[in-house]
Amino acid sequence: MSVQVRLAKNSGFCFGVKRAINLALDAAEKHDKIVTLGSIIHNPQMVHKLEKLGIYSVEDVKKIKNQATIIRSHGIPKDIFDYLKSLNIDIIDATCPYVSKTQEYGKKLSEEGYPIVIMGDKDHPEVIALKSYLKAEPIIVKNADELEYRKFNKVALLSQTTKNIEEFKKIMLKLLDMSQEVRVINTICNATDVRQKSTKELAEESDIMIVIGGKNSSNTKMLAKISAKIIETFHIEEASEIQKEWFIGKKKIGITAGASTPDWIIVEVYNKIIEIVGDSSMFVESIEQIPV
Amino acid sequence: MSVQVRLAKNSGFCFGVKRAINLALDAAEKHDKIVTLGSIIHNPQMVHKLEKLGIYSVEDVKKIKNQATIIRSHGIPKDIFDYLKSLNIDIIDATCPYVSKTQEYGKKLSEEGYPIVIMGDKDHPEVIALKSYLKAEPIIVKNADELEYRKFNKVALLSQTTKNIEEFKKIMLKLLDMSQEVRVINTICNATDVRQKSTKELAEESDIMIVIGGKNSSNTKMLAKISAKIIETFHIEEASEIQKEWFIGKKKIGITAGASTPDWIIVEVYNKIIEIVGDSSMFVESIEQIPV
């Protein structure tokens, strides 16, 4: 059998990331001085590309004076948003609409008196932003195991948009043992779920999986975790990290990529692998040509 | 090993049934003409006992003219309640407070625009009564398998109070695949849950189980079903149904009883079994003396 290199369906940029980057590119044409508050996405290569266009990332909001400011897809805490508004600068809000929706749900449920459980990483910018819309401190857990028993009358459950639905269900079940009312809002982005399922399916049909995305990208790490449970998996950020030895004896090579991984990196990785495994019958220039 | 006869913990009357019967007995002292609308509980023996006190069951509300009327623990539909009020008779509302609470939840969620899923038997009086408080036709399913796929934006889940929590969880999980928001109110009475768990535990330690309760009692049938999955099980209404052959070679005999089973019947059954299995070392006169 010849070597087969396939890309998982629904790999790469999601709707929210595409939108944020388009907003940033548009803004770069209109403004001389422009920054993003924090990296626009968790992908160093994309951040580098934006820098070439004059869009720099600023970590500390206090350093923003008179620059137009892009709010990245993860969103930012309410008080920082309010502070930016007080500066009378142009604000380009590229918060993912699904993330904004989660913030709205959190705000509403919190106002209705629900204690809020969030499935997410407590240090993730999306979760930090979501927290700021709540009236009381939420319970933040990465998984069902982390959720300690306590008694509620009612409780609401939300999720960081890039988390796993199966773990979400486990938390929901556990909450029903703790509370008479459990109000669950599935704020997991469908793109995340679909991407995870496609990754799992491809991993099941592969001898090796290459997961492409920022090493600090939460959703890419989740893809790597899902894949690693099934088959040997390497998580890389770019083509240069690929090692020939990985592919010795492998016949079915699978590739997947996180929501913040630009297409050109996926194409580079694909072509590099094709080069290594010696199959030069195909030459791929854009992601649309890669067989899924 | 000698023969052991044990009663499941939490067998027999629940809070709501005890309350309804006490209300009926009190009412019988105050009123000459008194009826219950439908059998007060699903237990023929108890119904017979009340008849001796002059409390008769009436199935058709139109036959009630000037009698004081007891509303049984299952509750009644809103329009029938309103009709009774229009008769200007004494109404003794013995609806179980947990059932009333479920009706309130149903009403509130329905007014808030939630499509309602009810886990229950569509012909059960409690479910028929609950339905009458909803603005739109609910989806009534006995179990998760019966729930057909459809798409909701939001959906609420309630249960007949005497149903099984594990099946409820399955329905909840299934609904999360159909709706972004799933609002779950666990209206399963804790007594039901505790009784089912005790029955399961005892069945696991027994060679045979005797389940006592009305053949038309929903919660008793559920106990019989849970028990039958584990060990040979007989569902009886009273001691006279017991057959000696059942106990041949059995060393560990378990007894459990539904929420509408009076204590005196449990005691009769216990004593009859003790008589059959030949262990006369104990003589039980009240339920408190039966070993659990």
Question: Which has more pLDDT, A221 or B190?
Answer: A221
- Decide if B181 and A181 are in contact by the 8 Å CB cutoff: no
- Residue whose structure tokens are 């948009």: A161
- Decide if B183 and A186 are in contact by the 8 Å CB cutoff: no
Please give the mean pLDDT across all residues of chain A.
91
Please report the ipTM that was assigned to this predicted complex. 0.78
Which residues in chain A have their CB less than 8 angstroms from residue B173's CB?
169, 172-173
Alpha helix segments (H runs only) across chain B: 15-30, 44-52, 78-86, 97-111, 125-131, 165-176, 190-204, 218-228, 263-277
Alpha helix segments (H runs only) across chain A: 15-30, 44-52, 78-86, 97-111, 125-131, 165-176, 190-204, 218-228, 263-277
Mean pLDDT of B231-242: 97
Mean pLDDT of B74-82: 95
Say yes or no: B183 contacts chain A, CB-CB below 8 A: yes
Please give the angle made by the CA atoms of A82, A183 and B195, to the nearest 5 degrees: 150
Max avg pLDDT among A120-134, A275-289, B266-280 = A120-134
Q: Mind listing the pLDDT tens digit for each residue in B169-186?
A: 999 999 999 999 999 999
- Decide if A186 and B173 are in contact by the 8 Å CB cutoff: no
The dihedral region occupied by B16, where left means phi > 0, alpha psi between -120 and 50, and beta the remainder, is alpha
Shortest CA gap A79–chain B (Å): 28
- Band of pLDDT at residue B120, cut at 50, 70 and 90: very high
Shortest CA gap B225–chain A (Å): 23
- Decide if A182 and B181 are in contact by the 8 Å CB cutoff: no
Say yes or no: B172 contacts chain A, CB-CB below 8 A: yes
- Decide if B183 and A181 are in contact by the 8 Å CB cutoff: yes
Which residues in chain B have their CB less than 8 angstroms from residue A187's CB?
180
- Band of pLDDT at residue A287, cut at 50, 70 and 90: low
Shortest CA gap B108–chain A (Å): 13
Residues of A noted as catalytic: 126
Q: Mind listing the pLDDT tens digit for each residue in A74-101?
A: 999 999 999 999 999 999 999 999 999 9
Mean pLDDT of A256-283: 82
Q: Per-residue pLDDT for B283 more than 80? A: no
Strand order in the sheet with A91-93: A55-58, A34-37, A68-71, A91-93
Q: Per-residue pLDDT for A199 more than 80? A: yes
Q: Per-residue pLDDT for B209 more than 90? A: yes
Question: Which has more pLDDT, A288 or A276?
Answer: A276
* Interface mutation vs chain B, best among A172, A187, A188, A197, most B CBs within 10 Å: A172
- Decide if B183 and A183 are in contact by the 8 Å CB cutoff: yes
Q: How many CB atoms lie within 10 A of CB A70?
A: 27
Q: Cβ contacts of residue A40 below 8 Å, gap of 6+?
A: A20, A21, A24, A46, A47, A50, A55, A57, A70, A72, A73, A94
Mean pLDDT of B159-163: 92
Kindly report the pTM of this predicted structure: 0.79
pLDDT at A280: 47
CB-nearest to A186 from B176, B184, B186 is B176
Question: Which has more pLDDT, A262 or B228?
Answer: B228
**Is the distance from CB of B188 to CB of B161 less than 8 angstroms?**
yes
* Interface mutation vs chain B, best among A102, A155, A180, A187, most B CBs within 10 Å: A180
Q: Per-residue pLDDT for A282 more than 70? A: no
Which one-letter amino acid corresponds to residue B63? Answer: K
The C-alpha atoms of residue A44 and residue A54 are separated, in whole angstroms, by: 15
pLDDT at B175: 98
- Residue whose structure tokens are 């378990």: B254
Say yes or no: A182 contacts chain B, CB-CB below 8 A: yes
Q: Mind listing the pLDDT tens digit for each residue in B3-48?
A: 888 899 888 888 888 899 889 989 988 988 899 998 887 777 778 8
Say yes or no: A190 contacts chain B, CB-CB below 8 A: no
**Is the distance from CB of B264 to CB of B250 less than 8 angstroms?**
no
- Band of pLDDT at residue B149, cut at 50, 70 and 90: very high
Say yes or no: A169 contacts chain B, CB-CB below 8 A: yes
Which residues in chain B have their CB less than 8 angstroms from residue A179's CB?
186
Shortest CA gap B84–chain A (Å): 32
CB pairs under 8 A between A and B: 46
CB-nearest to A184 from B165, B182, B187 is B182
CB-nearest to B176 from A169, A180, A181 is A169
pLDDT at A89: 94
Share of chain A above pLDDT 90, in %: 69
pLDDT at B289: 65
- Decide if A181 and B185 are in contact by the 8 Å CB cutoff: yes
